[in-house]
Amino acid sequence: MTDHAGLEEPAELEPAQGSLDLASPGDTWTSADWESQAAAVLRKARRMTDEDPDDLVWKKLTRTTLDGIAVTPLGTAALLDGLETSGRPTRSGDWDIRAQVTTNEEALTDLDGGVTSLWLRGDADLAGLLEGVLLDLAPVVLDGQDPAAFLAYAEGRELHPETNLGVPAAAATADLAQQAKERGVRAFVVDASAIHDQGSSDVQELAWSMAAGAAYLRTLTQAGVSVDDAAALVEFRYAATDEQFATIAKLRAARRLWTRVLELSGVATGSTTGAMKLHAVTSRPMMTKYDPWVNMLRTTVAAFAAGVGGADSVTVLPFDSPLGRPDGFGRRIARNTSHLLIDEAHVAHVADPAGGSYAVEKLTDDLARAAWVTFGRLDDAPDPGAALAAEIAETVAKREAEIATRKRPITGLTEFPNLGETLPDREGEPDPVRRYGASFEALRDTPPATPVHLATIGTVAQHTARATFATNLLAAGGIAVTTEPGRVACVAGTDAAYDEQGAEVAAELRANGAEWVIVAGKPRDWADDSCAMGVDALDFLTRTREKLA
């Protein structure tokens, strides 16, 4: 299992050339035509000059993931050249709709509402938690409960074969493996979502899961369990985010990686004995406490991507999880998200719907190859999580920087915040995970008592763009605006208006009590601070709040 040959680091993205191979044979469009049209749009948006060559659009529109993987703006057949991995999701038909439950009421309500399996969280009494649950029809996955207590509770009762004792793979033993095999259930979980919750990237999440899976196989095979039996007893859990294509590619790459690990471990090629059992759960860090209704959109995209990516089981976390214990409405929306995708959108009725997509195949291959390289470094580490700690910290810092500058926008929090919203009231403690927008949420938690004076220059048509930008930016830090004079003022208008009246307006504001003048746009000599696209919003908002204090 230590032989990582055959997978190399991803190659750099090359511009595609020639025909786009569109569906209709009558089409004569080429990639050069696309470059020309795209370049015209970028020139109109002033992202390219008239002197720039058209093929610069590839560089302008290609985005880079946190792992440094280039994502092409256009999928073409040329992207398939040089792919080194292959494989398809093995799930056929509907995915298992798995609800996370902590009480018996939640379990029975979700099952009545169409949930097909239960993920038991916490340390509640199993007899009370599972009262009325038909264990032969509804698989249960333990998480935090004593497997021996569960087996004792289920003594003499038939268990669904997809039941999982939920023991972390790192704690696997031959005795537990034997007990699970005798009862015809699974026993172990490689929970990569735990690494995701720490802020890892997709490649780091994949690499950690492979290292944990490989260590699990070693532990059991050294204890006398056959590699086929060991592979059949484990389930993998990954986070699904609202980055649709990245999630699809990550789950597809996970299957390819695990297939390769099993091949190197001696499982026969093509064997379905140890085919990866994959559980996807919508990301906890991507959720927001403010404007939580947007979480419905995030989790819908994540669930869609999980289903398309081939997840066998999908858990959609309720939109109100960041606020406390989800209520009945939040849980109903969560379980119905999968029902809508399966029964109305028919997402599950096509096997591997992303298969053959040039862009998805390329991204899947890039993720698999990069994760394999990282896995090679982690494979012999006694604690893969600790070995990745420094790299995860770098990823967290990079993501934080992109969120701070709003290159990675969070709708309802860093973009289009609503200072007048009333948050839903929920009982219990909120989900403790640190969310991606935690720094902005902290600002919103303690809004300043004093607003910023928004001073506009010119007509509404002239100042509305910058006034709206400044208002939304300030609101992201919990800062309201007013037309009344105050300690801090923000001037919004056109560049021409700034040239003609800016200094005079700033002087008048200071005469009326403004101690700090901000200009919406590029810095000006007459202003103390400025805000424009690309500004470090977190730093700017912190400075402004200090001036308001």
> Which residues, including other chains, have CB under 8 Å from residue 433's CB and lie 6 or more apart?
197, 284, 285
* Residue whose pair of structure tokens reads 């012999």 in the numeric block: 380
Rg of the Cα atoms in the chain: 27
Q: Which of 41, 71, 33 has the alpha carbon at shortest distance from 364?
A: 71
Q: Report which DSSP code applies to 164.
A: E
Each residue's pLDDT tens digit, 308-342 = 999 999 999 999 999 999 999 999 999 999 999 99
pLDDT of residue 84: 92
Just give the CATH number of 446-548.
3.40.50.280
pLDDT of residue 3: 47
Q: Tokens at residue 8, please?
A: 């190399």
Q: Are 320 and 424 in contact (CB under 8 A)?
A: yes
Q: Tokens at residue 343, please?
A: 């029964």
pLDDT band for 20, please (50, 70, 90 cuts).
Answer: low
Can you identify the CATH homologous superfamily of domain 96-381? Methylmalonyl-CoA mutase (3.20.20.240)
pLDDT of residue 29: 79
386 or 498: which leads in pLDDT: 498
Mean pLDDT for the stretch of residues 178-186: 96
Q: Mean pLDDT lowest for which of 115-129, 488-502, 505-519?
A: 115-129
pLDDT band for 272, please (50, 70, 90 cuts).
Answer: low
Determine the distance from the C-alpha atom of residue 426 to the mean position of all C-alpha atoms in its chain, rounded to a whole number: 24
pLDDT band for 87, please (50, 70, 90 cuts).
Answer: confident
pLDDT of residue 88: 80
Instruction: Calculate the average pLDDT of the chain.
Output: 92
pLDDT of residue 71: 92
Q: Is the pLDDT of residue 74 over 50?
A: yes
Query: Domain locations in the chain?
Result: 96-381, 446-548
Cα-Cα-Cα-Cα dihedral sign, residues 500, 502, 505, 507: negative
Around 448, how many Cα atoms within 13 Å sit in the side-chain half-sphere?
A: 21
CA-to-CA distance for 487 and 173, rounded, in angstroms?
66
CA-to-CA distance for 507 and 297, rounded, in angstroms?
46
Q: Tell me the CA distances in angstroms from 93 to 130, 163, 350, 353, one per residue in order.
A: 28, 19, 8, 12
Q: Are 403 and 415 in contact (CB under 8 A)?
A: no
Each residue's pLDDT tens digit, 414-435 = 999 999 999 999 999 998 999 9
Helix (H) or strand (E) holding 140: strand 140-143
Q: Tokens at residue 307, please?
A: 């289903």
pLDDT of residue 76: 87
CA-to-CA distance for 217 and 157, rounded, in angstroms?
29
* Residue 401: CB atoms within 10 Å: 13
Mean pLDDT for the stretch of residues 235-240: 98
Q: Are 97 and 314 in contact (CB under 8 A)?
A: yes
CA-to-CA distance for 318 and 328, rounded, in angstroms?
9
**DSSP codes of every residue in 282-294:** E-STT--SSSTTH
pLDDT of residue 466: 96
pLDDT band for 99, please (50, 70, 90 cuts).
Answer: very high
Q: Which of 319, 345, 321, 306 has the alpha carbon at shortest distance from 97?
A: 306
380 or 214: which leads in pLDDT: 214
Mean pLDDT for the stretch of residues 121-129: 88
Mean pLDDT for the stretch of residues 130-150: 96
